[in-house]
Structure 1
Amino acid sequence: MSNMIQAAREQVAALTQAAYEKAAAQGLLPGGAEVKATIEIPKDPTHGDYASSFAMAGAKALHKAPRQIAQTIVDNLELEGTFFEKVEIAGPGFLNFTLGSKWYGQVLTDIQAEGNTYGKVDEGKGEKVMVEFVSANPTGPMHIGNARGGVLGDALAAVLERAGYDVWREFYVNDAGNQIHKFAMSIEARYLQIVLGEENYPFPEDGYHGDDIKELAQAFYDQHGDSYKDKSQEERQEAMAQYGLSVNIPKMKADLRRYQIEYDEWFLESTLHDSGYVAETVGMLADKGWTYEKDGALWLNTTALLKQKFLAEGKTQEQVDKLDLKDDVLRRANGFYTYFAADIAYHRNKLEKRGFSKAINIWGADHHGHVARLQAALDGLGLDGSHRLVVVLMQLVNLLQDGQPVRMSKRSGKAIALRDLLDEVSVDAARFFFNSRSSTSALDFDLDLAVRQDSDNPVYYVQYAHARICSLVSRLAEEGAMVPDAAGVDAALFATAEEKALIKTLSQLPETVRISARDYDPSHINRYLVTLAGEFHRFYNSCHIKGEEPALLSARLKLADTVRAVIANCLALIGVTAPEKM
Structure 2
Amino acid sequence: MTPEELSQAIHSVLVSAIDDGALALDKADLPEPKVERPRNRDHGDWATNVAMQLAKKAGTNPRALAGELVERLSAIEGIDSVEIAGPGFLNIRLNAASAGELARSIVEAGEKYGTNDTLAGEHINLEYVSANPTGPVHLGGARWAAVGDSLARILKASGAEVTREYYFNDHGTQIDRFANSLLASARGEQTPEDGYGGAYIEEIAQTVTNDEVAAGRPEPATLPDEQATEVFRKAGVELMFAQIKDELHAFRSDFDVFFHEDNLHNSGEVDKAIDILRGKGMIEDRDGAVWLLTTKFGDDKDRVLIKSDGNAAYFAADVAYFLDKRRRGATCAVYLLGADHHGYIGRMMAMCAAFGDTPGENMQILIGQMVNLVKDGAPVRMSKRAGTIVTLDDLVSAVGVDAARYALARSSMDSSIDIDLDLLSSSSNENPVYYVQYAFARTRNVARNAAENGVSRDAGFEPGALDTPQDAQLLGVLAEFPAVVSQAAALREQHRIARYLETLASAYHTWYAATRVTPRGDEEINSGHVARLWLNDAVAQVLANGLDLLGVSAPERM
TM-score by length of 1: 0.86
- 1:217 is displaced (CA, Å) by 2.7
Cα 1:282–1:21 change in 2 (3 A) is closer
1:263-286 CA deviation, whole Å, 9 max, x = no partner? 112111122222122232234334
Residues of 2 paired with 1:288 and 1:112: CA distance? 55
1:392 matched residue in structure 2: 366
Amino acid of the structure 2 residue aligned with 1:255: E
Q: Is the aligned partner of 1:537 residue 2:509?
A: yes
Q: Distance in 2 between matches of 1:377 and 1:59?
A: 41
Q: Counterparts of 2:509 and 2:23 in 1: how far apart (Å)?
A: 51
Aligned partner of 1:313 in structure 2 is none
Report if the CA contact (8 A) 1:177-1:338 is conserved.
Answer: no
Report % sequence identity. Answer: 36
Aligned length: 545
Match of 2:199 in 1: 211
- Equivalent position to 1:331, from 306, 319, 338: 306
Q: Match for 2:145 among 135, 143, 150?
A: 150
Question: Is the deviation greater in 397-406 or in 252-261?
Answer: 397-406
Change in Cα spacing, 1:38 to 1:456, as seen in structure 2 (3 Å) is closer
Structure 2 counterparts to residues 180-579 of structure 1, below 5 A: 180-192=175-187, 194=188, 198=189, 203-224=191-212, 227-228=219-220, 231-293=223-285, 296=288, 298-301=289-292, 304-305=293-294, 307-310=295-298, 325-352=300-327, 354-384=328-358, 387-484=361-458, 488-547=460-519, 549-579=525-555
Distance, in Å, in 2 between the alignment partners of 1:331 and 1:189 is 32
Separation in 2, partners of 1:357, 1:16? 35
String of CA shifts for 1:80-107, please: whole Å, max 9, x gaps: 5523112245567754321123432332
Sort the Cα spacing of 1:554 and 1:121 in 2 relative to 1 into closer, same or farther, 3 A. same
Report the AA paired with residue 392 of structure 2: L
Deviation at residue 50 of structure 1 after TM alignment: 3.3
2:18–2:25 CA contact under 8 A, matched in 1:
no
Letter of the structure 2 residue corresponding to residue 348 of structure 1: L
Offset at residue 381 of structure 1 (A): 3.1
2:418 match: secondary structure = strand
User: Distance between the aligned counterparts of 1:86 and 1:512, measured in 2?
Assistant: 26
Alignment CA distance shift 1:281-1:65 (3 Å): closer
Residue of structure 2 aligned with 1:124, choices 119, 134, 137: 119
Deviations 1:437-470 (A, max 9, x none): 1111111111111111011111111111111111
The Cα offsets for residues 550-578 of structure 1, whole Å up to 9 and x where unpaired, read as 21100001100111111111111111111
Q: Secondary structure at the match of 2:305?
A: strand
Q: Over aligned residue pairs, what C-alpha RMSD do you find?
A: 3.0
Contact kept, 8 Å, 2:151 with 2:489, in 1: the verdict is yes
Q: Distance in 1 between matches of 2:66 and 2:406?
A: 47
Instruction: State how far apart, in whole Å, the 1-side matches of 2:86 and 2:267 are.
Output: 70
> How far apart, in 2, do the equivalents of 1:31 and 1:219 lie?
77
Q: In the alignment, is the contact (CA less than 8 A) between 1:309 and 1:386 conserved in 2?
A: no
Q: Secondary structure at the match of 1:121?
A: coil
Report the AA paired with residue 391 of structure 2. Answer: A
After TM superposition, the structure 1 stretch with the greater mean CA deviation from structure 2, 278-287 or 135-144, is 278-287
Shift of 1:213: 2.2
Aligned to 2:43: 47
* 2:170 aligned partner: 175
Change (3 A) 1:102 1:308: farther
In 2, Cα distance between equivalents of 1:41 and 1:581: 32
Residue in 1 aligned with 2:159?
A: 164
Match of 1:27 in 2: none
Contact 2:107 2:534 in 1 (8 A): no
- Which residue identity does 2:475 align to in structure 1? I
- Alpha-carbon distance between aligned partners in 2 of 1:494 and 1:120, rounded to the nearest angstrom: 25
Answer whether contact 2:462 2:531 (CA < 8 A) is retained.
yes
Letter of the 1:513 partner, please give it.
V
Distance 1:17 1:289 in 2: 51
Counterpart Cα distance in 2 of 1:440 and 1:534: 26
Partner residue of 2:3 out of 2, 5, 19? 5
Q: Hey, what's the Cα distance between the residues in 2 that align with 1:552 and 1:451?
A: 38
- Deviations 1:489-530 (Å, cap 9, x if unpaired)? 111111111111111111111101110111111111101111
- Distance in 1, matches of 2:276 and 2:296, equals 18
Instruction: Rate the CA distance shift 1:330–1:233 in 2: closer, same or farther, 3 A.
Output: farther
Structure 1 position 209, deviation (Å): 2.9
Larger Rg: 1
Residue 221 of structure 1, CA deviation: 3.7
Q: Which amino acid aligns with 1:138?
A: P
1:350-393 Cα shifts (integer Å, max 9, x gaps): 112x1211111111121111122123223323344553111111
Q: Does the CA contact (< 8 Å) of 2:97 and 2:465 recur in 1?
A: no
TM-score (norm 2): 0.89
Q: Give the deviation of 1:40 after TM superposition.
A: 5.7
Distance 1:535 1:272, change over 3 A: same
Matched, 1:133 2:107: no
My pick for the range that moved more, 331-340 or 341-350, is 331-340
d(CA) in 1 for partners of 2:423 and 2:179?
A: 40
Deviates more, 1:434-443 or 1:78-87: 78-87
State whether residues 133 and 169 of structure 2, in contact with CA within 8 Å, keep that contact through their aligned partners in structure 1: yes
**AA in 1 matched with 2:198:** G
Letter in 2 for 1:495: D
State whether residues 348 and 383 of structure 1, in contact with CA within 8 Å, keep that contact through their aligned partners in structure 2: no
